[in-house]
């Protein structure tokens, strides 16, 4: 009787080990897919954000230029002294010139 119970315990333990291994492999696959999706969504969002910002900027530039006769410049400079953010960093400026 004890031998039969021990055999069943051993079988159940082995089955549980197989299930845990399968679950770990499945979890790893899900995590890899999740990283790929996050990367793709981030790239799409970044592109959309850059394009929509550029479109808005170009539209505003045209409106200001036509309505008020001004020139609008977009400059990207490096603030070596850290005056803007408190540390050296790239800074983007929109300048209106009359």
pLDDT given at position 50: 75
Q: Is residue 38 scored above 90 in pLDDT?
A: no
Round the average pLDDT of the chain to a whole number and report it. 91
Q: What is the pLDDT of residue 46?
A: 80
DSSP secondary structure letters along 20-73: HHHHHHHHHHHHHHHHHHHHHHHHHHHHHHHHHHHHHHHHHHHHHHHHH--EEE
Which sign does the torsion angle of CA 83, 85, 86, 90 carry?
A: negative
pLDDT at 48: 82
pLDDT in tens, 54-90: 898 899 999 999 999 999 999 999 999 999 999 999 9
Number of domains in the chain: 1
Question: Over pLDDT 70: what percentage of the chain?
Answer: 100
Residue-range definition of the domain harbouring residue 84: 2-97
């Amino acid at each position: 009787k004890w031998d039969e119970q021990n055999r069943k315990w051993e079988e159940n333990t082995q089955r549980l080990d197989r299930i845990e291994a399968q679950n770990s492999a499945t979890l790893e696959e899900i995590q890899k897919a999740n990283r790929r999706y996050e990367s793709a969504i981030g790239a799409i969002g970044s592109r959309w954000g850059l394009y929509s910002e550029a479109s808005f900027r170009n539209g505003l530039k045209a409106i200001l230029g036509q309505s008020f006769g001004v020139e609008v410049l977009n400059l990207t400079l490096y603030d070596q002294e850290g005056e803007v953010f408190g540390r050296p960093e790239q800074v983007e400026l929109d300048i209106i010139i009359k």
